[in-house]
Structure 1
Amino acid sequence: MRPENLSEIQIDALRELGSVGAGHAATALSQLLDHMVDITVPEVRLVPVSDVPMVFGGPETLVGAVYCRMLGDIAGSMLFIAPQKALLALVDMLRSREIGATKTLNAEEEALVTHCASILISAYLAAIARMADINLLPSVSAFAFDMMGAILEVASSESGMKVDTAIVVLTSFSDEHAAVDAALFYLPDPDSLEVLLGKLGIV
């Protein structure tokens, strides 16, 4: 099954998976940081891979990205992406700083973003694994800061699969002071997507 052929019911199921994963990620992140961080999934959409850069303004938009492969019963890859301004604001939020305080990222802050994204990705995959009764884990995550088009090109090459459509899980981080918008991009192997939907009973 190809992602662009999904029905509204199937998209709703993927949205529910995203919401469950976001809830678990928010709990884990809040415990790690010792202050409340809420994570919500306002929208899930299907986007042709060629149009993915337009989600954040175009292929030349500077973004921070965390990439990993999916390991287990289904194949695919995950990308966490935040535009530069949102990325810096996310670091401020994670560091309990005033939004706008962070101007550039050092190695420690890149590691913090990678850890945050890994928590979100792991929670999302854990939600999929529980609800579909499958084994699913993320690979080791890698951080990159580059133009959106370059990030996507590398991710597509690394996946080793012909993926035409991405499932975009828009993701909002918020605390008592600010909100930051980012996104998870799920690049599914078409055969694996059919297996997943079958396990969820919504083929």
Structure 2
Amino acid sequence: MRHTNTTRHPLTEKELLATFLPKSCVNQLLREYPSLYHILLHTSEAQLQAVPGVGRRNAKRIRCLQEVITKVEEERTKPIASITCLSEAIQCFQFLADRQQEELWALLLDAKNHILQKKQITIGTVDSSLATPREVFHAAVQQMAAAVIVIHNHPSGDSSPSTQDTAMTKRLLEAGILMNIPLLDHIIIGKYDCYSFRKAMSELWKEDDE
């Protein structure tokens, strides 16, 4: 039985442009500009039309693609006023994926999950942010928050929780019950993925409900 190799390799810049532009046009554009990034984000329609072989029609195609990229970026970076799902909480702190030190933040929410404040609690070392529940809930009390989500990053890029992360989550849950400011989740931001304690270890929250 023959096995088909289904591995897909990323398309080159030339191949990507060739999916919607003539090959001669693609070659000329890549001679005029250093990269696909510059073509799509740093050229006007008039500049594109001035490139030999591009013409008005192809310039408009590129301009439409520029508009798509702009709209997607606007949506991705649009400020979030309230948290309704895990992905929105992660979106608020995606910038942590590239930080070289571990940082711990608290997302402070009102009774309707509107964001009151995004508060940086600590900046630590490469592998530790050295935070305590007291620091987290001090910020929550100051903002009169009704609930809190805690987020920190792993500079290693691996979002898997350590034993210290799990222990800290348990302490935060206990402190939240005592303060009547529930911990809704503890999220770890990695380089390419994220870890939600609420999703992966939901039993911790069930224990606190008993």
Same fold (TM over 0.5): no
Higher Rg: 2
TM superposition score normalised by structure 1: 0.23
TM superposition score normalised by structure 2: 0.22
Structure with more strand by fraction: 1
